[in-house]
Structures are given as structure tokens and as C-alpha cells.
Copies of this chain bind each other. A is one copy, B any other.
Amino acid sequence: MAESKKEQAPNNGAGTRRRGDVLENAILQAAWDELETTGYNRLTMEAVAVRAQTNKTAVYRRWPNKAQLIIAALIKFAPKPSLEAADMGDLRTDVVTFLQGIFKPLQAIGPETIHGIMSEYPGKEHPMSKPLPPRSEDALFAAMKAIVGNAEKRGELQPDRLPERVISLPIDLLRYEMLTTHGSVSEDIVVQIVDELFLPLVRASVQGE
């Protein structure tokens, strides 16, 4: 009667036991689903495991904590902005298009998740923990540089006159806005950033000084 540990339900009726990438993908998919339905704060490792039809052990074998797991899920499933620097023959159009492409993905992730990750992610010494990439390796920044580079080739502005801060300004501000504005950010913020800040700075670097 003691109902010993032997009571292990046959997995599916057949002995189909997932391993390796199959299991890993199932967990990440579960994490992504759970993130979308429950939100970061209330998401638990156990819920992810249950949804993936496995158990916490299998999850912890791969990621040391919630933040790492969710980062992995984001990398795999979150909508990515296209990093192709649109080259439409006009700097303003290119930048606006690019920023608008960032807008949706950032919004999809949402401030709760970002704050949660940033909060729980101390870069602690854990065998499995990967550090967040430094600013200079930011893919979005690289894309902006490419866009500016195209404009330089076209002669819209003189080469190497734009400080890096100007180039990263649109991304930084957009991120800040998405991070601090709970509720809804209107999409015309992109146009504002470009027309009221970025382009005037570009013009200033051409004429002045």
C-alpha cells in the first residue's frame, strides 16, 4: 500500500522520453508561453516545468535561475527587429523605419520583463550565467552606425563628424521611454525623437563647428 516511488506513470503510454534539444526547446517554448500568459513576475520555474510536461530538475540543469531562462526564451522566441539597415536614399526615412522596427519588439517584451531581468541579474558568479553584452557590442547601435554610414556615402553628411552619443541617442531614448512609460507609448514618439532631436543634431554637425 505504501505506494512506493515505483509509481511512475508511463510517459505517453509509449516510452517516449525527450532529450537534448527536443526537451530544451520544449522548455523554452513553455517559458515563452508562460511569460506571455502570466507575465514575468508571477512566472515560476515550476509552472514552466509543468507546462513543458517535465519537472524543475530538467529546467535547473540548464539554466540557473529565472532570469537566465527567460533570457534564453527571449533570444529564441521574442520578435526581433530587423537589423538590416534600410537604405532608401534618405537618412530620415531610414532612421524612422529602423526605429519603428524596434518599437514593436521592445513593446512585446515589455517593461515588467526587462525590469525583472535587470533586477534579478546581478552577473553573479554562477557556472551557467552569461554576462549581459556590453554597450559597444550592441547590435542596434551597429545598425544605426550602418544607417549613418549610408547617409555619409550619399553625401548627406560629412564622414565621422557625428559623435557616438548622437548615433546612439535614438535607441537610448526609445529604450528609456519603453522602460519607464507603463501603459501605452504612442508610436509617434519615434518621429519626435528623429525630428526634434536626431536630425537637428545631424544638421548641426554639418553646418556648425
Contact = CB atoms under 8 A, between A and B. Distances in A.
A122 interface: yes
For the complex formed by this chain, how many copies does it contain in all? Answer: 2
Interface in A181-200: 181-182, 192-193, 196-197, 200
Nearest to A162: B196
A172 interface: yes
Contacts of A120: 41
A168 B115 CA distance: 22
A108 interface: no
A196 B41 contact: no
Nearest to A205: B200
A196 B166 contact: yes
Contact of A200 (B111, B173, B208): B208
A118 B123 contact: no
Contacts of A41: 119-120, 122
11 contacts: A40-B119, A41-B122, A115-B115, A119-B119, A163-B196, A166-B197, A169-B173, A172-B173, A173-B173, A200-B208, A204-B208
Given A135-B180, A200-B205, 16 more contacts: A40-B119, A111-B118, A112-B119, A115-B115, A115-B119, A123-B182, A163-B192, A165-B196, A165-B197, A169-B173, A175-B176, A179-B179, A197-B201, A201-B201, A201-B204, A203-B204
Interface of A: 40-41, 111-112, 115-116, 118-120, 122-123, 135, 163, 165-166, 169, 172-173, 175-176, 179-182, 192-193, 196-197, 200-201, 203-205, 207-208
